[in-house]
Amino acid sequence: MRTPEQVSEMISRLEKEYPLAECTLDWRRDYELLFSARLAAQCTDARVNMITPALFARFPTLEAFAGAQVEEVEEYVRSCGFYHTKASDIVACAQALLIRHGGKVPGTMEELLALPGVGRKTANLILGDVFNAPGAVVVDTHCIRLSNRMGLVDGLKEPAKIERALREILPADKSSDFCHRLVLHGRAVCGARRPQCERCCVAHVCQTITG
């Protein structure tokens, strides 16, 4: 495990390396981020961003999604994989937002998790990016890999356990941005197969390098 000083150094170095800590999914409305995050499950953000312009043009409002035929939504999201389930969840989620929340994306973990197709990763993404809620921790594949490599967690694989562990060591006002930076760093430098440690801005405090 890393010391508080080492964690602080990681946060500082990644902030300098990736000053724009933003979600890489394209969205304008809060429900668009919610639906895009559902599509991104076991799919790349890049692929999702390729199909959502046409999807959001065809269904330009939450009401349009709620009244859509699942089969038609499937045709727009087919290339994201698991399109039957994803299309069904999107339509059901739109209906739930209108019926339960007056067309607004809710701002609590409990309410978000009650929506069709929404898990903790998506809920934390919405809380952090839409509501700027402190303590939001988005645990995706990059976060799992890097947090273990870097020594932020010790051999944890379960997202819920990693979320709790990171919340304990990250400043609440920086946790959401830090998770976005882990994604950017994981794509640019700390890849799954060939991490480029010689280019890494946090190699000097990384558990894999320093032990």
Q: How far is CA 10 from the centre of its chain?
A: 20
* Tokens 């959502």 found at: 52
Residue 140 among the catalytic residues: yes
Q: Residues 14-27, buried b or exposed e (16+ Cβ, 10 A)?
A: beeebeebebebeb
Both tokens assigned to 169: 């060591």
Categorise residue 95: left if φ over 0, alpha if ψ from -120 to 50, beta otherwise. Answer: alpha
Q: Residue 63 in contact with residue 31, Cβ under 8 Å? A: no
Residue with tokens 């993404």: 125
* 173 is an active site residue: no
* Set 45, 89, 129, 140: catalytic member: 140
Catalytically annotated residue among 45, 86, 121, 129: 121
Measure the CA–CA gap between 29 and 153, rounded to whole angstroms.
34
Concatenated DSSP letters for 143-180? HHHHHHHHTSSSS---HHHHHHHHHHHS-TTTHHHHHH
Annotated catalytic residues are 121, 140
